[in-house]
Amino acid sequence: MQRHFRNTALAGAAAVFLTFGAATAQAEDIPANDGLNATYWMQNAVEYKANAYALYQLAMVRLDQALADKSWTAALEQTGDYQSKPPAVILDIDETVLDNSPYQAWIVEKDKYYSSKTWTPFVESQTSRVIPGSLEFTKYAVSKGVKVIYVSNRKEHEEAATRANLKKFGYPVDEDTDVVLVRGEKEEWKSSNKTPRREAVVANYRVLLQLGDNLGDFTDENVGGSPSERLETYKKYQAMWGKQWIMFANPTYGSWEGAAINNNWKASSSEKRAMKHAIMDEWEGPK
């Protein structure tokens, strides 16, 4: 029995060694892409899923509060006599409603970078997934008589596939009026800045909540600014976070990264890494 156990243990050790050996050989071929941890986390970590789900649970509570308070609005663009307008919520799409982690995983695995040449075919594949809690929230909003409006920087030629991807999961996509406001759909919507599209929404609705993963999903103030300028915007609207404005985590991409690299997207990976290191505050280490 003892001997058998030892043999088994030895065989097990050999198997571990061989597996480790194979993994090591393979690992040498894997590119050292800086997006690995963030992409892995968003796609696979329950810590991310629970976080997103919790934010959508919070959004339902805030929705009820907003419905009960006619003076409540989530849009800085909303002025004048809006109290009696029908209620709506504005949601960003990418990494707010739809999960594009397979595209990010492709970037990491192949050591690529974002490009519209590869992004459009991904959108057309209609393989984006569901951000946890988003389906429940949008259906809850509809059940309360609230219009669900998507404001996305996906482009006009990507709208049909985007609508199909949303409908595939059962997201509300009303047809009586345009509820998917994408970039370039109108002349005045050519910019990635979302203010003109928010202005179009507030013309007809009282906006109860805004949900997004990027500063620009809430305001265009300092979206492309430096980290310290963006911090000013964050502080200026402190009272809105978690109330009228719900921000989702997205460590894989965003205007925060542009701020970190002075919007120099053409810089090499090592140059981008150096710029991020230069901004980070670090402990001097043990004495």
Q: Write the CB contacts of 268 (distance below 8 Å, at least 6 apart in sequence).
A: none
Q: Least distance from C-beta 85 to Mg ion, angstroms?
A: 26
95 interacts with Mg ion by CB under 5 A: yes
Q: Which is nearer to Mg ion, 82 or 248 (CB)?
A: 248
Helix (H) or strand (E) holding 211: strand 206-212
Q: Least distance from C-beta 68 to Mg ion, angstroms?
A: 29
Q: Which is nearer to Mg ion, 63 or 151 (CB)?
A: 151
Please classify residue 31 by burial: count the beta carbons closer than 10 Å to its beta carbon, then call 0-12 exposed, 13-18 middle and 19+ buried.
exposed
159 interacts with Mg ion by CB under 5 A: no
The closest of 39, 254, 249 to 132, measured between CA atoms, is: 249
Q: Which is nearer to Mg ion, 172 or 254 (CB)?
A: 254
Q: Which residues in 91-108 are b (16+ Cβ under 10 Å) and which e? A: bbbbbbbbbbbebbbebb
94 interacts with Mg ion by CB under 5 A: yes
Q: Least distance from C-beta 36 to Mg ion, angstroms?
A: 20
Tokens encoding 128: 């984006």
Pick out residues in 201-260 that bind Mg ion (CB under 5 A): 213
Pick out residues in 15-54 that bind Mg ion (CB under 5 A): none
Q: Least distance from C-beta 133 to Mg ion, angstroms?
A: 15
Q: Least distance from C-beta 259 to Mg ion, angstroms?
A: 16
* Rounded-to-integer distance, Cα 14 and Cα 20, Å: 10
**Residue 99 φ/ψ, nearest 5 degrees:** -100, 115
The closest of 229, 217, 236, 238 to 262, measured between CA atoms, is: 229
> Mask: binding to Mg ion, 136-155, rule CB under 5 A, as x and -?
--------------------
> Mask: binding to Mg ion, 52-91, rule CB under 5 A, as x and -?
----------------------------------------
* Rounded-to-integer distance, Cα 40 and Cα 219, Å: 29
Q: Tokens 């419905």 sit at which residue?
A: 67
Q: Count the Cβ atoms, other than its own, within 10 Å of residue 244.
A: 21
99 interacts with Mg ion by CB under 5 A: no
Q: Count the Cβ atoms, other than its own, within 10 Å of residue 154.
A: 22
The closest of 197, 202, 213 to 246, measured between CA atoms, is: 213
Q: Least distance from C-beta 96 to Mg ion, angstroms?
A: 5
Q: Least distance from C-beta 214 to Mg ion, angstroms?
A: 5
92 interacts with Mg ion by CB under 5 A: yes
**Residue 94 φ/ψ, nearest 5 degrees:** -70, 125
Size of the site for Mg ion (CB under 5 A): 4
The residue at minimum Cβ distance from Mg ion is 94
Q: Which is nearer to Mg ion, 159 or 213 (CB)?
A: 213
- Piece of 95-103, 161-169, 188-196, 203-211 that binds Mg ion (CB under 5 A): 95-103
Q: Least distance from C-beta 280 to Mg ion, angstroms?
A: 24
Q: Which is nearer to Mg ion, 99 or 213 (CB)?
A: 213
Q: Residues interacting with Mg ion, by CB under 5 A?
A: 92, 94-95, 213
